[in-house]
Amino acid sequence: MAEIEVLGSRMAFVEAGAGSAPVVFLHGNPTSSYLWRNVIPRVSGDARCLAPDLIGMGGSGRPDIEYRFADHARYLDGWFDALGLAEVVLVGHDWGGSLAMDWAARHPERVRGLVVVETFLRPMSWAEYPPAAVGFFRDMRTPGVGERMVLEENWFVEKALPLTVPGLAEADLDVYRAAYPDPESRRPLLRWPREIPLDGEPADVAERMVAYGRWLATSPGVPKLLLTVEPGQLVPAEGVAWAREHIAGLEVESLGEAGHHVPEEHPERLGDAVAGFLRRHRP
């Protein structure tokens, strides 16, 4: 794993393959670039692949910041600039998809393509949120309760990952555990559920999603691929229908039956879908 200085801290990343247009893989909560370990080999034969650890996550630095969406976006900006990345294809899962769309909307001249799976395409209401997750996420957004669940009990790593990734090997879970050994290290994990714009709050994150929604709707020249799973969690059937209506230049491809963390469950399917997208849209 390599690392580079960004905004007075450091960001770790993995790199494989070679090619003129880099493919950047962005993870979400509570994972790291390790999420893509079995996806990238399906793509790196024909492309330069890079996958950073978001600031405060994985092997990246832990600066004294709030770890809000805007903080992650700022450090990602610094990482892209430090590596001089342009003409990129972005691949994002969970919050990594939102960060990818946000970056694309703010740097449209540097984006050649976009692939997202199980991410936040737009602000949501509590009524739209996956019913099975509503109770947990309301608790995590409750002062005191969220701190106990995420900081003290390490809920995302110890409960959510094993539950949503059946058969996840203990050795793989240990890699995720190692990044968050104590409550202080888990602060970024707690911030993420409090950043989801539900019924308009927090308003600044909702505004960023609306802004990247405008870019999605008005950039037909940038090919976009929405990968779906059945049943979708963040992108259920209604979300796919919304995407078909509101996203320009969109392709939709099903990865079949899977849970939220499809890069862990079916990395081969996901990697082959990305590789196929790249072949279809070679300049």
- Whether 5 is catalytic: no
| Whole-angstrom distance, CA of residue 80 vs CA of residue 46 | 21
Cβ 25 vs Cβ 99: under 8 Å: no
Residue from 53, 71, 93, 94 carrying the catalytic annotation: 94
Q: How far apart are CA 210 and CA 101, in angstroms?
A: 11
User: Of the residues 27, 72, 260, 266, which is catalytic?
Assistant: 260
For residue 107, how many other CB atoms are within 10 A of its CB? 16
Q: HSE of 177 in the Cβ direction (CA atoms, 13 Å)?
A: 11
Residue 49 has φ and ψ, to the nearest 5°, of -115, 135
Of 118, 195, 264, 265, which residue is the catalytic one? 118
34 Cβ partners below 8 Å, 6+ apart? Answer: 58, 172, 175, 176
Annotated catalytic residue 260: yes
118 is catalytic: yes
Residue pair 222/113 in contact (Cβ under 8 Å)? The answer is: yes
Burial class (CB in 10 A: 0-12, 13-18, 19+), 172: middle
Cβ 32 vs Cβ 263: under 8 Å? no
Torsion over CA: 190, 192, 197, 202 (sign): positive
The tokens for 200 are 């308009």
**What is the set of active-site residues?**
94, 118, 260
